[in-house]
Amino acid sequence: MSFTLSSLKQALQDYTENNETSFVTNLPVFIKQAEERILKGVQLSFFRKNVSGTATSTNRFLQAPTDFLAPFSLALTSNSEFNFLEFKDVDFIQSFNPNPATTGLPRFYALFDVDNFILGPTPDSGYAAELHYYYRPASLTAGSDSGETWLSQNAQVALLYGSLVECYTYMKGEPDLTQEYQKRFAEAMAALKMFGEAKEVTDEYRTGMIIRQKQ
């Protein structure tokens, strides 16, 4: 069974037995919070894509995609070879390269703010960049009441119980029921993670990325 926005909102009202106006008004907020927890808790290849750009000379910042959620890889092309950068935090980059005027082929990158990556060291030349990343898909709440999304079709259990946890947190509901929904959400997330990892391995075998060792 999959959820439309309308059917999920109705299910949340049925489970909580709450039709109070402010609660119903906030249902899209609870759903979006649950979606965010799912997307950040399980990295699924279904939500991975790549973009190309340019790291410009003497500019240590590289613009992040507007739908960026988490990094998978970043590579710069130098002398026709891919050079994969290591993902770090901002503090590491600034400690590694405290003087932005120090340039070279970047070795590290970090998310500087919601819009930009920071590179270390600062690029000494222009480099073609290819970013492979997990993106944030459109929320179920962004569409019509009859609309569906990948999560509402394939991760409906996690979406339901994740939303219920948010509902009961808002309602300051019974602790034992909140814990039960949190437990069911965790179980659904574990199953979703196994599903995602199985898909990854299947794809890697299909594309030849995994090679069996000779017996």
pLDDT digits (tens, 9 = 90+) for 13-52: 999 999 999 999 999 999 999 999 999 999 888 899 999 9
Q: Are residues 77 and 24 in the same domain?
A: no
**pLDDT per residue as tens digits for the range 178-193:** 999 999 999 999 999 9
Q: State yes or no: pLDDT of 173 exceeds 70.
A: yes
Question: Which has the closest alpha carbon to 109: 78, 79, 70?
Answer: 70
Q: Which helix (H) or strand (E) holds 60?
A: none
Q: Are residues 63 and 38 in the same domain?
A: no
Query: Residue 185: inside a domain, yes or no?
Result: yes
Residue keyed to tokens 């489970």: 15
Report the amino acid identity of residue 117.
F
Q: Are residues 39 and 78 in the same domain?
A: no
How many domains would you assign to the chain? 2
Torsion of CA 14, 177, 36, 1, to 10 degrees: -40
Query: Residue 169: inside a domain, yes or no?
Result: yes
Full residue range of the structural domain in which residue 116 is found = 47-135
Q: Are residues 111 and 187 in the same domain?
A: no
Q: State yes or no: pLDDT of 200 exceeds 80.
A: no
Q: Are residues 184 and 168 in the same domain?
A: yes
Give pTM, 2 decimals: 0.80
